[in-house]
Each structure stands twice: as C-alpha cells, then as structure tokens.
Amino acid sequence: MIFYPLSSLREVVLIPLFNETIPAGFPSPAADYVERPLDLNELCIAHPAATYFVRVSGHSMTGAGIYDGSLLVVDRSVSPQHGDIIVAAVGGEFTVKKLCLHPVVQLEAMNPDYAPIILNDSGDDLETFGVVRYVINEATNVCPR
C-alpha cells in the first residue's frame, strides 16, 4: 500500500456539481440542471488532521468496489464498527478488509477467492489504521479485463 498524507494536496479546486442526479434508468427531460461549485476536500474529508489517502494493490475487495489501483480516503478518527471497511495491520502486514465482530472477530475479503482472516484463532495482532470513507476509481478500471 502507498500512503498519501493530506499535506500532499496542493490547492482547493472547485469543480462544477450539477444539482440534478443522473438516473440509471429513464432520463427526466424536465429536470432543472443548475450548477454549483463542489470542493472534493469538503465532501470527502470530515477530519483533515486524521485523514489520509492510500492506494490499493490486489483483488481481495472487488466485491466492495475496491480494485487494484483504487485510491481510498481513510479517516483515523472514526472508531471501526462491525461491517466497516478498514485499513489494518495483521501480524505487521497492511491490509484493507471488512471488519466483522461477530460471530467471531475476523477481517473479511469481499471476493470469494480469498479466505477471511480469523483473528481469534490466528493469534495475530490487529492494529487498525482507520475506516475507509470513500473509494476513488478510474471508470476504465471498474471491470477487470
């Protein structure tokens, strides 16, 4: 994993945001397409001092929309809860997985080709490094070739 601190951000760039949502079904020809500025820092970063970016390598989380090369926005100030996708170290190795607290504590891959990491039986130390708040993907990287 490659970690990127927020200090690597250069400047605020406001990008146009259309107030109308885009339907995945039938389009609405009567929609009012009003534009307002959007700051992605404001949208994605609730706690700047505790937020960092990390790039993913591997395919264990494809079922959660996290692909090889995805960029994660991770917040260290959020306490991990059952079902959260977290960045953690297990036995000194970094990983991104879904946290499951019951019936047993485990880190679950979101790809059936990968086994869960069961923490109660393995004796490995779990150290959490934050909860994934957003996933950024290139649209061309969504479907593996």
What would the pLDDT profile of 22-33 be if each residue is shown by its tens digit? Answer: 566 666 555 555
Told to judge if 8 belongs to the known catalytic residues of this protein, a careful annotator would answer no
Told to judge if 97 belongs to the known catalytic residues of this protein, a careful annotator would answer yes
The dihedral through the CA atoms of 9, 11, 15, 19 has a sign that is positive
- Mean pLDDT is highest, among 17-21, 47-51, 53-57, 120-124, for 53-57
What would the pLDDT profile of 90-107 be if each residue is shown by its tens digit? Answer: 988 999 999 999 898 999
For 19-92, strand residue ranges (E) read 35-39, 51-55, 71-75, 85-90
| Domains of the chain with bracketed CATH | 2-6+48-141 (2.10.109.10)
Helix, strand, coil % over all residues of the chain, rounded to 5: 15, 35, 50
**Dihedral angle of Cα 81, 76, 6, 15, to the nearest 10 degrees:** 20
- Mean pLDDT is highest, among 2-6, 7-11, 49-53, 54-58, for 54-58
pLDDT surpassing 60 at residue 51:
yes
7, 77, 79, 97: the catalytic one is: 97
60, 77, 79, 98: the catalytic one is: 60
Contact criterion met (CB below 8 Å) for 65 and 136: no
Q: Is the backbone peptide bond immediately before 103 cis, with ω within 30 degrees of 0?
A: yes
What would the pLDDT profile of 116-132 be if each residue is shown by its tens digit? Answer: 999 865 556 889 999 99
| Alpha carbon distance 117, 114 (integer Å) | 9
